[in-house]
Amino acid sequence: MTFSSPSCRGVFWPAAFVLAAAAALAVDVPIAQTLRDWNKSPDIYAYLRYFDTFEMFGHSLGITVLLVAIYQLDPARRWAIPRILLCAMAAGGMADVLKMLVVRTRPYECALTGNVWSTFGQCFSAWGAGSQGQSFPSGHTATAAGFAAALIWLYPRGRLLFTLLAILVGCQRIVCGAHYLSDVLVGAAAGCFVAQFFLQVSRLPAWIDRWEQRWRSK
């Protein structure tokens, strides 16, 4: 197996994001505290709110709008819509599973007075932690990463645009105090990892290919 094989390429970015997340633990609390201070300034707060514009790229409503746009504007590629939807939803679902395994208090609910480990709670108890204890990882970012990967697969020329939109979703989740930097990076890792199972790794892409071929012939 070489590095150029699909399976190796499929794990490169997820692994890179996980390593970056591990390094980001050192700056999670300082970044969160800085953003909390900035949000107390009306002038800075007004500019930071512009990031909210990009949240929809990692939200089911935004995904639905873009898929409807593909359906209406690009009939020749309608066959790809189910696969794109599967990438986005499965990526978000993977993040939700991880949320159930690790309790982490969201920045807007955390005192941010201790070290980074004080933001974590007991594992396997997130069911009772509520939304405020489900910071790890970012579901929006995971969904955006899976969605972007699928769109890049369908529209390679839009690689920079879709990548930028996914990055901006992650930035929005940090700026609004919903997640730490490491949460966003792990979310990106989960999204990229899951998307590969629908695009190039495992037997699933070949099975979807056969169904898509039937849809194209109709």
pLDDT per position as a tens digit, 83-137: 999 999 999 999 999 998 899 999 999 999 999 999 998 776 656 668 889 999 9
- What's the pTM value of the predicted model, to 2 decimals? 0.91
Contact 133, 126 (CB under 8 A): yes
Fold of 6-211: Vanadium-containing Chloroperoxidase; domain 1 (1.20.144)
* Residue-level pLDDT at 131: 84
Which has the higher per-residue pLDDT, 21 or 101? 21
Read off the pLDDT of residues 180-195 as tens digits, 9 standing for 90 and up.
Answer: 999 999 999 999 999 9
How confident is residue 211, by pLDDT bands cut at 50, 70 and 90? confident
* Residue-level pLDDT at 126: 54
Contact 175, 35 (CB under 8 A): yes
Query: Mean per-residue pLDDT for 6-33?
Result: 89
Coil, strand or helix at 129: coil
Which has the higher per-residue pLDDT, 65 or 215? 65
Residue 2 has pLDDT above 50, yes or no: no
Where would I find the H helices in the chain? 6-24, 28-39, 42-48, 60-73, 81-101, 139-154, 159-175, 181-199, 204-217
Query: Mean per-residue pLDDT for 67-76?
Result: 96
Give dist(CA 197, CA 202) in Å, integer. 6
Q: Where are the domains of the chain?
A: 6-211
Residues 6 or more apart in contact with residue 90 via CB below 8 angstroms: 146, 194, 195, 197, 198
Q: Quick one: DSSP state of residue 68? A: H
Give dist(CA 136, CA 22) in Å, integer. 13
